[in-house]
Structure 1
Amino acid sequence: MGVFTLFLIALGLSMDAFAVSISDGLCYPQAGRKQAFLTALVFGVFQAGMPMIGYFAGRTFAGAISSLDHWIALVLLGFIGGKMLIEAIRELREPESCPARKFSFQLLLMQGVATSIDALAVGVSFAVMDVNIFYAAGFIGVTTFLCSFAGFFLGRIFGGRWGQKAEILGGLILIGIGLKIFIEHTFA
């Protein structure tokens, strides 16, 4: 897998965290740089950790499913991307207002898990494609950290304008990468 493809996957996966960071920046007016850093760190760690878990779980089955790796990548990335698109479009149609809540580490951990579940499935795809998981997970974690940190402050500045659009873009990127992997493996 090339660096550009990995960057697109990292960017696509980070869009959920980016959208939630925008929401956090919007909904927690009392939060500052410390909370923005903590948000970005938690999201980055979860986005890096989940593909590793998926990868090592997927490696146990990689030999048995290696002839189907391109189909698995297409289905998993297509499903994740499609789910992101549906959720973003639903949110665009029925926007939620900010609930009255305080910034808490417990809520942040729940957000970290929720935004990184998709990365678990990507880790399984990485296992069947025999990707260097440490490099890929680190790349995904750093990309997510940077996007989330920026998203927190963008939420404070621009409000909810970009959250769902970013999630739509992330979904389209993941679907496109799934198609690219499928086409390369099928016709190469």
Structure 2
Amino acid sequence: MSPLTIGILAVSMSVDAFVASLGRGAAGHSRGVLAALKTGAIFGTVEMVTPLIGWGLGMAASTWVEAVDHWVAFALLGAVGLHMLLQALARKTSEASPATSLRATVLTAIGTSIDAMAVGVSLALLDANILVIALAIGLTTMVMSASGILAGRWLGQSFGRAMEALGGLALIGMGALILYEHLAG
């Protein structure tokens, strides 16, 4: 793969993490640059590891992984998105958003990176340099997620609950889109 192709792949794999980070930042789940970098590091690490897992699984059993990856992504993104949406609707305008757990951050990162696992399966069939590609995806995701947290935080100061609700709807939508794309062919 050329560097341009790897770059395009890395950005495309990072967009969903960026959207999820916007919602998390708007909901007030991460405060400050250090927290944004921490969240970015979690998203980036998960996004870097999942294509490696996919590549390994692709070498072993590509048909099985492709058969269930869309359901896993749909379930994880749908559950996290629904939780965000319900929190936004239940909270009064004056209430601060509750702090999120490391577990919720990791689950969101996993949900947004299932597609990277599927890409890893495909890369196993292409005999591509998976280490370079996984590193590019991980670093790009880290930068985009940290940026999303900071941008979401700025938006959240003005639009708070609405941004959190939109972030939840975006995650549900991403999960539904992944499921639809796989089921529609």
Q: What letter corresponds to residue 20 of structure 1 in structure 2? A: A
Q: Does 1:22 align with 2:36?
A: no
How much does 1:103 deviate?
2.5
The 5 A counterparts of 1:1-188 are 1-28=1-28, 31-60=31-60, 96=85, 99=88, 100-159=97-156, 160=163
Q: How many residues align?
A: 148
Task: After superposing the two structures, state which structure 1 stretch, 142-151 or 25-34, moved more.
Answer: 25-34
How much does 1:30 deviate?
6.4
How much does 1:61 deviate?
5.3
Q: Distance in 2 between matches of 1:123 and 1:136?
A: 9
Task: After superposing the two structures, state which structure 1 stretch, 22-31 or 36-45, moved more.
Answer: 22-31
Question: TM-score, normalization: structure 2?
Answer: 0.66
Distance 1:133 1:154, change over 3 A: same
Distance 1:127 1:22, change over 3 A: same
**Could you list the runs of 5+ residues in structure 2 that have no partner in the other structure?**
89-96, 157-162
**Could you list the runs of 5+ residues in structure 1 that have no partner in the other structure?**
66-74, 176-188
Q: Percent of aligned positions with the same letter in both sequences?
A: 31
Asked whether the 8 Å contact 2:29–2:100 carries over to 1, the reply is no
Cα deviation code 1:73-132 (max 9, x no counterpart):
xx99xx97xx99xx9xxx9xxx94753431221211111111111111000011001110
SS at match of 2:120: helix
Q: Which residue of 2 aligns with 1:70?
A: none
- CA RMSD across the alignment: 3.4
Cα deviation code 1:40-73 (max 9, x no counterpart):
00000000000000101112358xx9xxxxxxxx
SS at match of 1:60: helix
Q: Distance in 2 between matches of 1:122 and 1:9?
A: 9
Distance 1:18 1:98, change over 3 A: farther
Q: Which residue of 1 aligns with 2:94?
A: none
Distance 1:40 1:124, change over 3 A: same
Task: After superposing the two structures, state which structure 1 stretch, 107-116 or 26-35, moved more.
Answer: 26-35
